[in-house]
Amino acid sequence: MGRIKRQGAGRPGGSTQNRDEILDAAERLFADAGYAATSLKDITAAAGVTQAMVNYYFGSKIKLFQQVYLRKGEALQQARLALLDELKERGGFDVSDVIRAYLVPAFQLQTTVAGRHYLRIQARMHTEPDALAYKLRQEVYDVPVRTYIAALAALLPDLEERVIFIRFTEVIGIYLYILSGAHRIEQISEARYMLPVNEDMIEEIVAFATAGLKR
């Protein structure tokens, strides 16, 4: 399709800062209300820009959503691949090291407001229309997941690859639920117990997933 055509005399007033402000506002609103319930009018009001500026930079609401998701999603992908590369260069790693390397970048997102917005969008992706969500999930997840599964398969030669795929998918489901903000531990324990801090929660998942993968 090529680049979006400019309208009239050229780019609307502003700078790339406007683009970032639009992305930040859209990220916050998509996290709070989801794609369908968030309008371009909501986003322009939150960002303090005109719809013409949104159209200039992104062309449509769906393209804006794609850029919001990929902005942090691609960084998450690269962080995961970089950590796995570090393990391979170091050598002597085991299944728990691989699981931990996959989890750490996602939990790091929880340490910032913008990161938490992205995590809520990520949790919502499973309820968004397939036409919107499927390709984006592919772009962010497929390469790292296949790369990590290949590393696990090398460490677990007696386990069928099919089983590793199934069990790694279960690991993904666990961490996505934990980071979704549902806080079910507090609810089901009647507030007697709280979610551990990130570092401890990572180690809980690592221990659980390592035992499950080796079973």
Q: What is the 3-state secondary structure (H, E, C) of 131-164?
A: HHHHHHHHHHHHHHHHHHHHHHHHHCCCCCHHHH
What are the pLDDT digits (tens) for 13-47?
555 678 999 999 999 999 999 998 999 999 999 99
190, amino acid identity: E
Closest by CA to 167, choosing from 180, 178, 156, 182, is 156
Q: 177: Cβ–Cβ under 8 A, 6 or more apart, which residues? A: none
* CA atoms of 24 and 112, how far apart (whole Å): 13
Query: Residue 79: how many CB atoms within 10 A of its CB?
Result: 17
- The three-state secondary structure class of 60 is coil
Q: What pLDDT score was predicted for residue 13?
A: 52
Query: Residue 93: how many CB atoms within 10 A of its CB?
Result: 16
Query: Residue 63: how many CB atoms within 10 A of its CB?
Result: 14
> Could you list the pLDDT tens digit for every one of the 215 residues in the chain?
343 333 444 555 555 678 999 999 999 999 999 998 999 999 999 999 999 999 999 999 999 999 999 999 999 999 999 999 999 999 999 999 999 999 999 999 999 999 999 998 988 887 776 777 888 888 888 999 999 999 999 999 999 999 999 999 999 999 988 888 777 888 889 989 988 899 999 999 999 999 999 98
Q: What pLDDT score was predicted for residue 126?
A: 72
Domains of the chain (ranges; CATH) run: 12-59 (1.10.10.60), 69-214 (1.10.357.10)
Q: What is the dihedral of CA 185, 189, 195, 201, to 10 degrees?
A: -80
Helices (H), the chain: 16-33, 40-47, 51-58, 61-90, 95-109, 113-124, 130-155, 161-178, 184-188, 198-214
